[in-house]
Amino acid sequence: MRALAETPQLLLHHAEIPYSYLMSWEFYKKPWGEVKSSVPFHQLPILVVDNKTHIAQSGSIVRYIARIANLVPKDCELAAKVDAVFETTQEMFSPLNPTVNFSIGADFQQKRTTILKSLPARLLTFERVLNNSPEGKFFFGNKPFYCDFAVYHHISLALFLDENLLKNYPKISEMMRAVESLPGTIKYFKTRPKLIGVGTCPQLVINGTAVSTGVSEV
């Protein structure tokens, strides 16, 4: 599925940090249900560093990568502002991941309607921050920080619900294009599995084959 591991992967590609992406059953050699209770906080994703250190929780993973990738401002006050934008994505868009990746039929339509009603006010917040930020296409100038990649990911999910979502938000649209134009993002998107069938039969196209966005049973 295209969910909480997406922002970390965008950061890794932007910083040209090599990594391997494994599904839980590939790494643990067991179905997820058999290992879930032994995993820190019983959740995915998990970042494994040098085959020894396991970093759990998506926010912690993003901040860890951001530090080693020089995507955190050195100025403490600016760093706090960047983190506030990142935290806003965590709070505002939590319903998006399960809705886009798993919901179908009437359940999807109901959740879609609820989410779309809440998004204009939330998008206006980002539009306002971008308008008040220094000159540049990103949230805080010409250099992207980790918050830009997080906002990009969540809004790209929201666009599956309404492709015209950003027609009244020119600054957000500009920021989205700026992230898509980064060399690391371009390289990542060439190999990233395509998400199809949102709302009906969500699947990822991997190596030309459509597979379920759910958890493997074997």
188-205: per-residue pLDDT in tens? Answer: 999 888 888 898 988 888
> Which pair of tokens denotes residue 187?
């390289």
pLDDT number for residue 216: 43
Q: How does pLDDT run across 175-186, given as a tens digit for each residue?
A: 999 999 999 999
The CATH number of the domain holding residue 34 is 3.40.30.10
- Sign of the alpha-carbon torsion through 139, 144, 74, 53: positive
Is there a single domain that holds both residue 92 and residue 162? yes
Is there a single domain that holds both residue 199 and residue 168? no
What's the whole-number mean pLDDT along residues 116-126? 92
Is there a single domain that holds both residue 10 and residue 38? yes
Residue 16 within a domain: yes
pLDDT number for residue 76: 96
pLDDT number for residue 206: 74
Rounded Cα gap, residues 25 and 53, in angstroms = 19
pLDDT number for residue 210: 65
Q: How does pLDDT run across 47-99, given as a tens digit for each residue?
A: 989 888 889 889 999 999 999 999 999 999 999 999 999 999 888 667 888 89
pLDDT number for residue 95: 85
> Which pair of tokens denotes residue 47?
């970042």
- What is the 3-class SS of 7-67, one letter each residue? HHHHHHHHCCCCCCCCCHHHHHCCCHHHHHHHCHHHCCCEEEECCCEEEECHHHHHHHHHH
Rounded Cα gap, residues 44 and 40, in angstroms = 9
Is there a single domain that holds both residue 63 and residue 84? no
Is there a single domain that holds both residue 56 and residue 96? no
Residue 1 within a domain: no
The CATH number of the domain holding residue 85 is 1.20.1050.10
pLDDT number for residue 120: 92
pTM, 2 dp? 0.91
Is the per-residue pLDDT at 218 higher than 80? no
Q: What percent of the chain has pLDDT over 70?
A: 94
Is the per-residue pLDDT at 215 higher than 70? no
Is there a single domain that holds both residue 157 and residue 195? no
211 strand-pairing partners: 204
Backbone angles phi, psi at 99, to 5 degrees: -65, -50
Is there a single domain that holds both residue 178 and residue 80? yes
Is there a single domain that holds both residue 100 and residue 159? yes
pLDDT number for residue 38: 83
**Enclosing domain of residue 132:** 76-182
Contact 72, 79 (CB under 8 A): yes
Question: What is the number of structural domains in the chain?
Answer: 2
pLDDT number for residue 214: 56
Residue 218 within a domain: no
